[in-house]
């Protein structure tokens, strides 16, 4: 990895918050949005209305559990040793400590979760930092077209930048765990579920959202990741049944 990036986290002062808001406004101008603020990425073939009208994609079945699937490697990441590096085609590359990350604007949401192994779970509660707010902090350059996610176990996956700009894409560090109707309170994301931090991209199959997230590389070119190189679809829209290439 390159090392020419700043490790100085900008302080979120009132002036800094105003700058982030203006930066986010500028980012929104780069991407199309409907009247509700939902982005309409040109690469995404289905729309929010289409996805809402057919909530369960073809080939999926509902589960009340929450299966655990990973590569069999769970890195020893904790709030004490975790960092998130953001670099590449951005104006302000940074490396965030846990405290830096927790100081960013926060959001909670309830969204569905679709796994390529044919199970879906409705109404999963996640909390964290919206990707669009993080993008406003680092300010992607016009050359930035893709984001390559890096997990702490060596996992990578690729996503067009414009698809991550949707308002429900979350860099999550907390959740409510609901298994067979037994709900926890808000808890830190457990290690076996990708904690301390994982990405959530509800409109794509879950492999397009890295567990154990430690890096976001904004790139001018695409770079298929672990599963994409092993025959999985490069896009992964559940409503188009885009499972394999």
Site of tokens 């192994």: 117
Q: Which two tokens stand for residue 116?
A: 């390529």
pLDDT for the residue numbered 159: 95
Please give the average per-residue pLDDT across 27-31, as a whole number. 62
Phi-psi region of 77 (alpha: psi -120 to 50; beta: other; left: phi over 0): beta
The CATH class of the 14-240 domain is alpha beta
166-176 residue pLDDT tens: 889 999 999 99
The pLDDT value given to residue 44: 63
Number of H helices, E strands in the chain: 5, 11
Q: How confident is the model at residue 3 (pLDDT cuts 50, 70, 90)?
A: very low
**Is residue 10 pLDDT above 60, yes or no?**
no
Q: Provide the residue ranges of all domains of the chain, joining segments of one domain with +.
A: 14-240
Q: What's the pLDDT at 72?
A: 79
Kind plus residue range of the DSSP H or E element containing 157: strand 156-160
Q: What pLDDT is stored for residue 2 in this prediction?
A: 44
pLDDT in tens, 189-237: 999 999 999 999 999 999 999 999 999 999 999 999 999 999 999 999 9
Give residue-wise pLDDT tens across range 95-122: 999 999 999 999 999 999 999 999 999 9
pLDDT at 16 over 80: no
The yes-or-no verdict on residue 91 having pLDDT over 90 is: yes
């Amino acid at each position: 990895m390159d090392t020419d990036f700043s490790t100085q986290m900008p302080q979120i002062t009132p002036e800094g918050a105003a700058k982030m808001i203006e930066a986010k406004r500028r980012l929104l101008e780069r991407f199309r949005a409907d009247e509700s603020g939902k982005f309409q990425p040109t690469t995404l073939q289905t729309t929010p209305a289409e996805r809402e009208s057919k909530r369960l994609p073809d080939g999926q079945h509902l589960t009340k559990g929450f299966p655990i699937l990973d590569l069999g490697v769970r890195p020893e990441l904790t709030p004490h040793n975790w960092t998130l590096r953001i670099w590449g085609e951005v104006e302000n590359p940074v490396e965030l400590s846990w405290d830096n990350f927790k100081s960013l604007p926060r959001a909670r949401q309830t969204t569905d979760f679709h796994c390529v192994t044919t199970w879906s779970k409705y109404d999963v509660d996640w909390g964290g930092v919206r990707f669009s707010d993080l993008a406003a902090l680092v300010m992607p350059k016009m050359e930035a077209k893709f984001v390559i996610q890096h997990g702490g176990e060596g996992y990578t996956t690729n996503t067009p930048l414009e698809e991550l700009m949707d308002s429900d894409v979350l860099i999550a560090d907390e959740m409510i765990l609901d298994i067979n109707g037994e709900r926890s309170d808000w808890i830190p994301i457990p290690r076996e579920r990708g904690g301390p931090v994982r990405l959530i991209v509800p409109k794509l199959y879950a492999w397009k959202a890295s567990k154990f997230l430690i890096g976001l590389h904004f790139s001018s070119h695409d770079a298929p990741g672990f599963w994409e190189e092993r025959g999985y679809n490069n896009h992964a829209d559940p409503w188009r049944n885009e499972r394999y290439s």
